[in-house]
Amino acid sequence: MGFSVPKSFLDLPLEIQFLVFANFDCARDLRALALTCKKLRDAVDNDGWRRFVERSFPSLSIPIPNGNRHTWKQLAESLTWQGRCWDRRALQFQVLLHSPQGDDVRRHQARFRGNAGYKGLFHSVVDAHFDPATHEELVVWGAGEDIVARYRERHGVDKSSKSTWHRVNGRELGFRAAYDDVNSIKIVNHHTGRAVVTGRHNGTVSLISAEPGHFGQPISELKFTSPDTSETTTAAEPENLSSLDILQHGAETRIAVATRNSLVIFDLPGDIAAELEPSATFDLKTEIFSLNTSRLSRARWMEQGETIALALSGSPNPLRYLSLTPTGITHHTAAKNATITAQFELKNNGNICPNSLEPVYRSGGSRTSLLLSAWRDGTIRLQDLRTPSPFDAVYQDNVDPWVDAEALMTYGTERFVAGGGDGLTVKIFDFRWDRPYHHTSGLSCLNRTPFPAPSQAFLKNPASSAFGNEKCGQGRACHYHEFSKHIYYRPNAKFYLSRSLINSSASIWSLARGSDISPNFYIGISGGVIEAGLEPCPNNYPPDQLITDPNFGFPDWRGRTAEGSGYMSRQVSPALMEIGDGYAYKHNDRPILLPKLKDCGGPPAWTGSRLELSKYHRLDMNYQMESDFV
């Protein structure tokens, strides 16, 4: 039987071609292949871009395309664009500050006089959702006893988006400042359309409409059952709410509500019900609280609802999980990895940051037992709740190691964002797991290491190693491509945001993003919300090219707020500091050389070869200096 050797790439079976598509290092090469002929263009468009995206960004939750506004080619273009911005720290910020008028002014002033025992601005909690099919984004936040929503619809490249604002006035509904403030808010899909679940300090949990024409209209009230008396808790005797979390799996929506002593589960029905009774109530006071001072501070769904992670305050074992079974619950203390504990000299003293619990998804799915949590010793710990996992790791700011994080937000296993603890600072951490995609792979070869050399407190410079060629070839990468993937040249970063705000003592209370493919995210702060957007500095002003995500970005995202919204916008001028490789070290208390604090500038007035080299710089042009190239 004869065997015919393929004469060209076109003659190879599709299965072999697809393997080639999936293993391209950069989108540029796949695009070049698609331009060679119509047959290859069709193959790349039909399946090549999908395989490239799935291979390059395996841990992100990627929505399956369903129309011309959302294709695999667009996903590849946007995700590679976003990856470059993240790696180069190309982030810009805008703050939306509450601007009280009329009666709002008196309520605003009452907070500072100590009304209801509370002083200062409201603590904003925020959630967001982006629909790639309609290109509409919804962001909601609790502003004291009020609820604010902004709808924004993208109309295309270089076109203004359509924005509308809505507000639920808490005082008109009988809510008081401070005591009835919103402390938890989540967007859910409901059979009536979009909806918002809100929890207040006083224990009230409500489901309200999030459709623009009906925003704020009540759908259901969630009624608690006291575990001690088995009687429905009256409105006059609510149990203070600690947190709420949403699980949406298919058509099923479950809500986990944490109070001081109990965990309450609600299942949203398929029809409209004015009042919802719990489907399960678990009294934790006698089950797992070992001290009278212990309390439940946070509950997060994991493993498609089979497990709930708990953060306890005032307990020697603050990280727990509950396994939900048909006959009830079983509770466990999170497994300890003795090797990791000894390596990082961890002290399990019960000081966890309760609002920081964040599940970590490895393959873009909805099932995981990996949990990220921040602790009062400044560490951020990745732990498998069930076993001493080989994925366990401990992260830390190597420059200011004792500052903790109040809020965490993950992007698969690519990176995570940490906020709070030391005022208005946002930290970008790399998980340090192997990544299949690096934006530097799309750059031409360069016979030098990445520049400028980072300030690393503990990590050894790999430049003395004898690897790398002048140009890529013969199975070896050039100097630039080899070293640019090394974690030494990819330090974590901290953005300082307070210097351009009037209230420099504000803190970060929550983080939210619309989806894994959104080029922006939101930061809940004292008195307002900060929007962060991926946006590289242009080569010149006015810009001669698009500087927002070409498919999912809002070109006018840093615009004025709508008249009558009760908010004013202001651009935030960040300063950047690189904070080391991000791993915790035993001896991280020793004095180290403080890295430079770089102000957000603008396009440097360079010409010639140095401007050409700017794309090889580790940071965005906002943070580049001419001396970096010498």
- Tens-place pLDDT, residues 554-574: 998 988 888 888 899 998 999
Of the listed ranges 26-40, 109-123, 333-347, 358-372, the least confidently predicted one is 109-123
Same domain flag for 285 and 190: yes
Average pLDDT over residues 337-361: 80
Angle between helices 49-56 and 27-34 (to 10 degrees): 170
Q: How confident is the model at residue 405 (pLDDT cuts 50, 70, 90)?
A: very high
Average pLDDT, the chain: 85
**Does residue 478 sit within a domain?**
no
Average pLDDT over residues 503-530: 90
Do residues 92 and 85 lie in contact, with contact meaning Cβ atoms separated by under 8 Å?
Answer: no
Domain boundary among 86, 109, 129: 86
**Reduced 3-state DSSP string for 20-87:** HHHCCCCHHHHHHHHCCCHHHHHHHHHHHHHHHHHHHCCCCCCCCCCECCECHHHHHHHHHHHHHHHH
| Strand-pair category, 125-131 with 91-98 | unpaired
Q: Which of 267-281, 494-508, 532-546 tops mean pLDDT?
A: 267-281
Q: 282 is written with which tokens?
A: 């678990």
| CA-wise closest residue to 198 among 164, 148, 251, 269 | 148
Q: How confident is the model at residue 297 (pLDDT cuts 50, 70, 90)?
A: very high
| Strand-pair category, 319-325 with 295-302 | unpaired
**Does residue 269 sit within a domain?**
yes
- Please give the Cα distance from 133 to 64 (Å, whole number): 10
**Does residue 617 sit within a domain?**
no
Q: 445 is written with which tokens?
A: 């070869």
**Does residue 439 sit within a domain?**
no
> pLDDT, tens digit, for every residue of 448-489?
889 999 988 888 888 766 555 788 887 788 989 989 999 999
Question: Which residue range is the domain that position 73 belongs to?
Answer: 9-86
**Does residue 231 sit within a domain?**
yes
**Does residue 213 sit within a domain?**
yes
Q: 342 is written with which tokens?
A: 């000894």
Same domain flag for 213 and 341: yes
**Does residue 469 sit within a domain?**
no
Share of the chain above pLDDT 90, in %: 45
Same domain flag for 386 and 414: yes
- Please give the Cα distance from 219 to 185 (Å, whole number): 15
- Please give the Cα distance from 34 to 485 (Å, whole number): 27
Q: Which helix (H) or strand (E) holds 599?
A: strand 598-599
Same domain flag for 140 and 41: no
**Reduced 3-state DSSP string for 399-462:** CCCCCCCCEEEEECCCEEEEECCCCCEEEEEECCCCCCCCHHHHCCCCCCCCCCCCCCCCCCCH
The predicted structure's pLDDT at residue 85:
96
Contacts of 256 (CB under 8 A, 6+ apart): 244, 245, 246, 247, 263, 264, 265, 299, 300, 301, 308
Q: Which of 134-148, 312-326, 610-624 tops mean pLDDT?
A: 134-148
- Please give the Cα distance from 111 to 120 (Å, whole number): 6
For residue 15, give the CATH number of its domain: 1.20.1280
Same domain flag for 82 and 95: no
Q: Is 81 exposed, middle or buried (0-12, 13-18, 19+ CB in 10 A)?
A: buried
Average pLDDT over residues 263-281: 85
| Beta strand extents in 88-135 (DSSP E only) | 91-98, 125-131
For residue 367, give the CATH number of its domain: 2.130.10.10
Q: Is the pTM of this model over 0.85?
A: yes
Amino acid at 616: Y
> How far is Cα of residue 369 from the mean position of the Cα atoms in its chain?
18
**Does residue 480 sit within a domain?**
no
Of residues 229 and 139, more confidence is placed in 139
Amino acid at 295: R
Same domain flag for 307 and 194: yes
Radius of gyration of the chain (CA): 26
| Beta strand extents in 318-396 (DSSP E only) | 319-325, 328-333, 358-360, 370-374, 380-384, 393-395
Same domain flag for 549 and 400: yes
The predicted structure's pLDDT at residue 546:
65
Q: 195 is written with which tokens?
A: 């909806």
Do residues 598 and 576 lie in contact, with contact meaning Cβ atoms separated by under 8 Å?
Answer: yes
Angle at 415 between CA 534 and CA 465, to 5 degrees: 105
Q: 189 is written with which tokens?
A: 């899909």
CB count within 10 Å of CB 470 equals: 12
Do residues 239 and 227 lie in contact, with contact meaning Cβ atoms separated by under 8 Å?
Answer: no
Has residue 19 got a pLDDT over 80?
no
Domain boundary among 86, 104, 132: 86
- Please give the Cα distance from 431 to 581 (Å, whole number): 10
> pLDDT, tens digit, for every residue of 140-150?
999 999 999 99
- Please give the Cα distance from 162 to 177 (Å, whole number): 32
Has residue 227 got a pLDDT over 70?
no
Has residue 73 got a pLDDT over 70?
yes
Domain boundary among 572, 598, 618: 572
Do residues 281 and 299 lie in contact, with contact meaning Cβ atoms separated by under 8 Å?
Answer: no
Amino acid at 117: G
- Please give the Cα distance from 558 to 366 (Å, whole number): 33
Cis omega (within 30 of 0) on the bond before 452? yes
Please give the C-alpha separations between residue 233 and each of 8, 228, 237, in angstroms, as whole numbers: 74, 11, 6
Same domain flag for 111 and 70: no
The predicted structure's pLDDT at residue 350:
59
| Beta strand extents in 133-274 (DSSP E only) | 136-143, 146-153, 162-168, 182-190, 193-200, 205-209, 218-222, 241-249, 252-259, 262-267
Average pLDDT over residues 400-427: 91
Q: 616 is written with which tokens?
A: 């090889």
> How far is Cα of residue 127 from the mean position of the Cα atoms in its chain?
11
Identify the residue whose tokens are 């390596």.
Answer: 343
Same domain flag for 65 and 125: no
Identify the residue whose tokens are 């003795």.
Answer: 338
Same domain flag for 159 and 55: no
Angle at 177 between CA 171 and CA 180, to 5 degrees: 85
Please give the C-alpha separations between residue 332 and each of 113, 327, 510, 521, in angstroms, as whole numbers: 44, 16, 27, 34
The one-character DSSP state at 474 is: T
Backbone angles phi, psi at 168, to 5 degrees: -100, 115
- Please give the Cα distance from 501 to 497 (Å, whole number): 8
Q: What pairs with residue 324 in β-bridges?
A: 329
Sign of CA dihedral 445, 447, 453, 457: positive
Same domain flag for 23 and 167: no
The predicted structure's pLDDT at residue 113:
41
Same domain flag for 95 and 68: no
Q: How many domains does the chain have?
A: 2
| Strand-pair category, 241-249 with 598-599 | unpaired
Has residue 328 got a pLDDT over 80?
no
- Please give the Cα distance from 460 to 450 (Å, whole number): 15
